[in-house]
Each structure stands twice: as C-alpha cells, then as structure tokens.
Amino acid sequence: MEIDYKFDEDKTLSELSRYINSTYSLHYARDKFQATEFIIDGGHGEGFCIGNIMKYAQRYGKKDGRSRKDLLKILHYAIIMMHVHNVREEHESNERSINTITMNTK
C-alpha cells in the first residue's frame, strides 16, 4: 500500500538517513567510534542527548538562520535518545527478571 504523505515525511526520513550516514564519515567518528558512544557508556546518554536537542532547538533561527542542519541534528539526537531509552528499558527488564527469579528461589 502506498501512503500519500501529507508533510513529505518520506522525503524528510530519506534526508535524515543521508545526514546520519554522513556523520559516520565526519570527524564525529574517529577510529570507528563516536564520542557519543563513550558518553552513553559512561551513563550520561540521556542528559547528553536531551541537552543537544535543546541546544539545537534553541539555536534554530538564530546562529545560522533557519538552518535545516540544526533540525536534522535535533532529529538525530532524538533517535540516539531512543536507543538510550531502549537500552535502559532492556536493562531494567532484565534486572526485574533476575529479581523475580531470586525472590522465587528463596
């Protein structure tokens, strides 16, 4: 079934995908690791992502005018935040399962 997108979401998602792909070849990804990975691994992913979303949202229309790149960065950090959220949810779910097993074996 073909969807008649009213707000060009298909084109925006394609543009976002190209932007994200480009970040893996820029200075953000040195030696196959992105600094964001280290920040997330250090337990600061949520604050980092939300902070950057706020930074680029507040900057939109000011520093470089109405920069599309700022909007792409907001969306990229939101996607990274979804990853942080999913990892946390999975970790918490695993902990609940372990706690349930431990309680049932006492």
Q: Does 19 have pLDDT greater than 90? A: yes
pLDDT mean over 84-106: 80
Query: Band of the pLDDT at 103, cuts 50, 70, 90?
Result: low
**Mean pLDDT throughout 20-37?**
78
The reported pLDDT for the residue numbered 105 is 67
For residue 72, how many C-alpha atoms fall within 13 Å in the half-sphere facing its CB? Answer: 16
**Average pLDDT estimate for 36-40:** 91
CB 76 within 8 A of CB 16: yes
Backbone angles phi, psi at 81, to 5 degrees: -65, -35
Which of 11-15, 58-62, 98-102 has the weakest average pLDDT?
98-102
Residues paired with residue 65 on neighbouring β-strands, in sequence order? 63
Provide the total of helices (H) and of strands (E) in the chain, helices listed first.
4, 2
Q: Is the dihedral of CA 35, 39, 67, 75 positive or negative?
A: positive
68 contacts 8 by C-beta, under 8 angstroms: no
pTM: 0.82
Burial code (b: 16+ CB inside 10 Å, e: under 16) for 55-87 equals ebeeebeeeeeeeeebbbbbbbbeebbeebeee
